[in-house]
């Protein structure tokens, strides 16, 4: 499956990761999504994103460890 953006967060300091997610989300258009890649399970990611974004987000687990975790993130948009 093709995604609009793939962000491998393993190479970023943990304090920078949410900013990278926010920046990438700000560039997503309708029907676009992103994949984030982490080296651990992001326990509070969905809640933290919901606090920062007024639009509803879909956070879907694609792969769950033990070495790599992948999540698909997209805006939940109402149909036209």
CA distance 60 to 63: 9
**Per-residue tokens: 54:** 């007024």
**Per-residue tokens: 75:** 């805006």
Residue 50 has what pLDDT?
Answer: 78
- DSSP 8-state symbol, 31: T
Per-residue pLDDT reduced to its tens digit, 43-56: 888 788 878 776 67
Q: Which residues pair with 8 in a beta bridge?
A: 37
pLDDT tens string, the chain, 80 residues long: the values are 688 999 999 999 989 999 999 999 889 887 889 999 999 988 888 788 878 776 678 889 999 999 999 999 987 765 55
Domain 5-75 sits in CATH 3.65.10.10? no
Residue 80 has what pLDDT?
Answer: 56
User: Contact 75/45 with Cβ under 8 angstroms?
Assistant: no
């Amino acid at each position: 499956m093709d995604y609009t953006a793939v962000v491998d967060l393993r190479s970023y300091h943990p304090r920078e990761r949410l900013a990278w997610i926010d920046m990438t989300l700000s560039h997503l258009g309708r029907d676009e999504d992103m994949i984030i890649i982490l080296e651990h399970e992001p326990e509070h990611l969905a809640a933290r994103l919901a606090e920062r974004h007024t639009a509803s987000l879909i956070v879907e687990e694609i792969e769950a460890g033990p070495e790599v975790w992948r999540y698909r993130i997209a805006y939940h948009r109402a149909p036209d």
